[in-house]
Structure 1
């Protein structure tokens, strides 16, 4: 139903006194002008409200009420048998006031009555629209859910169609600002959550690495424990670790000939942030001290001013005869590739890289710098390059054939790392370290080398099992002995020590020398 023009009714514009604004039904949102002194209102099966002058058309069955102008306003009279409600109250006759809500029959439309001064407002105020929605919700006899949804729906429609352009533009602008602000908050929350997640992953990665490298580092508490052990004579060089080859009855010839080619490997690595390419460094306090997180872990950041965070490790390697190559395990040369370290670093967006890698040889007072040449993708092996001038005349040869079960093997290495070397060096060396204050990871190895106290331990064992991927033997060793050679009676390398199997009575696993030969061929 269209909104009628005032001239639609005989052109008597002076008789326009009010209008009805339909709020429900098919005519929702339209306006019906009330022109004349006496009008008849009808509602057909289509639920559309219609008006006509009483004198123009005789009454018919669809009429529900009449409107009579008197004393400056219309009076509504319900026809006999017809139900009409004004402001929610059923009535037979009512003098209408501006803003009254009229409901024509059980199924008829609900309309707002408005008095006008010969003009229909082009726009409604927000206050009027909200008021209409409130009155409708209060006056309607429909079920609560229906009248509330109707009030909200009609109020929203009118706010978007019957208010001024300026108001609508302002509302849209405010909504856009709210949306933009919400989006910025979302972005900031997402970035903050991602930052917290990355920080958590970084802390987790550092914790995993620290937990797996703790045994490689020598702390002040370790030195105190060693000094007390010496003072109480609970341990001695022979009682604690000593020379295992004497206790096991190993062949002195093989041990003596091979010792000078066995290297104590010492190194550290740092962590680089993949995104920025920066190394993680220690965050320093006002006095230059290294700060820690609330979890007790080192506080490290890519933009910190302290030294790079370093993770220390030790292991064993041996020189290869006729070359300047040092053979060791991949997990010694690339210690972050073992256990959960690699996965934790990747999840934290970090990459590890070697900061320092040194090799100490017996009877040499200074270490050699070592550089990773190649690591095997199929076996726990790696080749390091060292100074050729420092290793002339040294090196071990490789056995042409694999060992057989029941054969003797001699295992050389540096089990337990610096701790074993300090025990071998004796209590006087420990006192010197404490007196000079040279108890850090690097100074201890440097002093041991200068005093010619770096010497591998040896043990004897029997080959228990052989397979293409492993040689199993019972020669004694422990953490730190990884990368050491397992020698036959001819002093030839038959396997490279790689793992310990404490659950099988102290058995150890070595990588067959055939895998080393393959790696050497690939490196040529």
Structure 2
């Protein structure tokens, strides 16, 4: 705030010398924020071409073209009188002469400027109150003849400036502290909202990732509808896809010696993995209800959480593997030994903050009534291959030799495996086994395989095909198989492994892709060099 000029004080002749009766504070124009102190009894008000407001004692200078009004002190207040031919507005009203009251808004001329008139009780007001500043802003917006948007922006801008410069130090500190507190709360709310959004996003990713895993589990699991379909096939004497695959050996005339010699070394793989929450280090478990039952989400999916109190959530799968002659090792696909690596599952799990962990991996061999625990030894980064370790004493004198040469186009080969998993095994076991399952009402993923093994009803299916194309990374053939047959051996006429079944290409007339045995030999070399 400006101090009154010395000339204004000393020029006061009609009142007590140095007495400040009132002041005008410019709210618009180039002089915005300046204060003109009213000391003399009679003053002339001028506005130049730049809209700068100035006051002078009336007797100091002769009249000037820029003079717009005079101020005359009388009865404890000033009266403003417009000069001839000039316009002055007081509180929005055009006035030729009017007695001013404390707080009046005066607009000098068509284009301003606008000032606020205040009495100051013959002393210099050091500061303005918060109420005064807001009152000025309100009066300005109410009385100004400018466009609404322009006067609103001006009022806000001027009020902010005055609050920052014309209020007491204590008030400014209080306002600053309040703003800091509000900013602090705003930051905390922002961080909390961000954490909540991250939590919701991660939970959404977790649900999406779990749904992807469950989709694979449903492919390998048995449902009551599956049993009904199998029973209908038996009753109607119709061979299902699973049974048809089992009879291809006889229909195609595949050499009995090759099939018989290799069957005992081809294993039905059954496994389950869980998901560990990376942040907490806990494995996802089922959330239990009041009666101990597994709860489900509103979307019908199993409700699993790191803090669940039920059993670990299992994501089940099946596949095929085969023993390698001369070593107590089993070969299969990487996507069988590490089922979460197929497709985009691994990325979905990582984005959801989850880490897969194998819970159980069993290998069922024909003619053996108990499963063998299997353990991943090594997998290939370049090819869809993995090697499992099994108990040496259980696999003595078993294994299929690996071919030395690559297959040629047109060569006949024989594919062994467990396509469609448990469904094919139940179909092969016959209607009696199916009737027992229906009578017991159990479809447990683990107990069905255990019962099949105990009754010596686990045997691979065989199919014949012709090699259509070969390369260093893949062999394409038309031997029939489907999901669950991955990891099975493709044999030549000498009973040697020439490829490992890896993928199905139904869009190309049922063609399938196998990984050449040379890739398996390279992976075995890595294991032996460990």
Could you state the TM-score of these two structures normalised by the residue count of structure 1? 0.93
2:182 matched residue in structure 1? 178
The aligned counterpart of 2:113 is 109
Residue 386 (str. 1) matches residue 390 (str. 2): yes
d(CA) in 2 for partners of 1:501, 1:291: 38
Q: Deviations over 1:56-100 (max 9, x none)?
A: 444444433222222332222223233333223333322222222
Distance 1:174 1:238, change over 3 A: closer
How has the CA–CA distance of structure 1 residues 8 and 467 changed in structure 2, closer, same or farther, with 3 Å as cutoff?
A: same
**Could you tell me how far apart the structure 2 residues matched to 1:269 and 1:71 are?**
97
Q: Distance in 2 between matches of 1:186 and 1:240?
A: 63
Asked if 1:376 corresponds to 2:380, the answer is yes
Q: Which residue of 1 aligns with 2:408?
A: 404
| Other structure's SS at 1:352 match | strand
In structure 2, the gaps of 5 or more residues are none
Which of 458, 464, 473 is the equivalent residue of 2:462? 458
Q: Is the partner of 2:28 in helix, strand or coil?
A: coil
* Bigger mean CA offset, 211-220 vs 380-389: 211-220
Shift of 1:106: 3.6
Deviation of the 1:436 alpha carbon: 4.4
Aligned to 1:344: 348
Kindly indicate whether residue 211 of structure 2 is the aligned counterpart of residue 207 of structure 1.
yes
Higher mean alpha-carbon deviation, 394-403 vs 154-163, is at 154-163
TM-align CA RMSD: 2.4
Secondary structure, in 3 states, of the residue corresponding to 2:21?
strand
Separation in 1, partners of 2:155, 2:430: 93
1:219 is aligned to 223
Judged with a 3 Å threshold, the aligned counterparts in structure 2 of structure 1 residues 404 and 22 are, in CA distance, closer, same or farther, namely: closer
Contact persistence 1:3–1:32 (CA under 8 A): no
3-state SS in 1 of match to 2:116? strand
Distance 1:123 1:448, change over 3 A: same
- Work out whether residues 241 and 424 of structure 1, in 8 Å CA contact, stay in contact via their aligned partners in 2: no
Give CA-to-partner distance per residue, 1:359-396, whole Å, 9 cap, x none.
11111111111111111111111110111111111111
Residue 518 of structure 1: CA displacement?
A: 1.1
- Residue 16 of structure 1: SS of its match in structure 2? coil
Distance 1:506 1:58 in 2: 111
Corresponding residue for 1:8?
Answer: 9
1:419 CA drift (Å): 1.1
Q: How many residues align?
A: 524
Q: Indicate conservation of the 8 Å contact 2:243/2:424, yes or no.
A: no
Deviation, 1:231, is 4.0
2:30 aligned with 1:29: no
1:169 shift after superposition: 2.6
Q: Distance in 2 between matches of 1:237 and 1:349?
A: 40
The answer to whether structure 1 residue 442 and structure 2 residue 439 are counterparts is: no
Query: Does the 8 Å contact 1:240/1:423 carry over to 2?
Result: no
User: Cα gap change, 1:246/1:165 in structure 2, threshold over 3 Å: closer, same or farther?
Assistant: same
Equivalent residue for 1:122? Answer: 126
Aligned with residue 67 of structure 2, among 59, 63, 66: 63
Instruction: Tell me: CA distance 1:140–1:436, structure 2 relative to 1, closer, same or farther (3 Å).
Output: closer
How far did residue 329 of structure 1 move? 1.0
CA distance in 2, matches of 1:35, 1:493: 113
TM-score by length of 2: 0.92
1:139-154 to 2 correspondences below 5 Å: 139-154=143-158
Q: For residues 31 and 478 of structure 2, what CA distance do their matches in structure 1 show?
A: 97
Please name the residue that 1:310 is paired with.
314
SS in 1 for 2:482: coil
Deviation digits for residues 134-153 of structure 1 (CA, Å, limit 9, x no counterpart): 22223223343333222222
Report deviation, 1:290. 1.1
Shift of residue 497, structure 1, vs aligned partner: 1.4
Q: How does 1:401-440 map to 2 (within 5 A)?
A: 401-440=405-444
Deviations 1:177-212 (A, max 9, x none): 322222222222222222221121111112222223
8 Å CA contact 2:323, 2:398 repeated in 1: yes
- Kept in 1, the 8 Å contact 2:263–2:460? The answer is yes
Q: How far apart are residue 435 of structure 1 and its match? A: 3.9
Instruction: Name the structure 2 match of 1:286.
Output: 290
**Per-residue CA shift, 1:121-177, capped at 9, x if unaligned?**
323232222221222223223343333222222222222222233333332233223
